[in-house]
Amino acid sequence: MDDTDYGIKTQSIDVISGVWVVFEEPDFCGESYILEKGLYGSPEDWGGLHNKVGSTMPVLLDDFQNTGKFKVQLFSDPGFQGSVLVREDSANCLQDGFSVASCKVVAGSWLAFEGQNFTGKMYVLEEGSYPDLRAMGCVSRSSSIQSLQTVGIEFSLPSITLFERCGLRGKRVVLTEGSVNLQLAGGCGRVQSVLVEGGV
């Protein structure tokens, strides 16, 4: 954002169309937030703790004929060097001993997780080249990618139920469209578990 002469301080955002990923640091690094079409009146509305936006990128959908096609090349060394591991589907655990240091997303959108079985910190990887872990969004030197998941297309009607307690218990709020403020959407201030019944 420094390159746009706008600066990095952002108090509100109006997403006119599409889906965007907003990052707190330049080069698509740091905390990330996924924003769909709508008005976000303050950093709290998009989940941010600070009024800082360092970089942003759109989530692109090429065309429906290519849906279901995914490919990522994982490299053991920065700068696309070292051993190569190619994946075309989700992996809840990468090969033993393989450590991701850079990657190229050839097709599709991917979620990279620091833990096995799609747990831990999550990073959104769109088509493009990521020469090191920082470019993927990892800010800690001890970060590692342990599992990958493809992001598919879901045509069912969106429906999600938010629960105030773990195990799908406690106060519940059902949403069938986006909400920029869950407090106003039904007074759900704390979400411990969710049930997605349709959509993404």
pLDDT of 6 over the 90 cut: no
Domains 2-59 and 64-150 share a fold: yes
Query: And the tokens for 48?
Result: 């941010």
Q: What are the helix (H) ranges across the chain? A: 133-136
The architecture CATH gives domain 64-150 = Sandwich (2.60)
Q: Report the topology of domain 2-59.
A: Gamma-B Crystallin; domain 1 (2.60.20)
pLDDT of 170 over the 90 cut: no
SS3 sequence of 132-188: CHHHHCCCCCCCCCCEEEECCCCCCCCEEEEEEECCCEEEEEEECCCCCCCCCCCCC
pLDDT score, position 64: 44
Confidence band, pLDDT 50/70/90 cuts, at residue 106 = very high
Task: Delimit the domains of the chain by residue range.
Answer: 2-59, 64-150, 159-198
Of 60, 56, 57, the closest CA to residue 25 belongs to 56
Q: pTM here?
A: 0.51
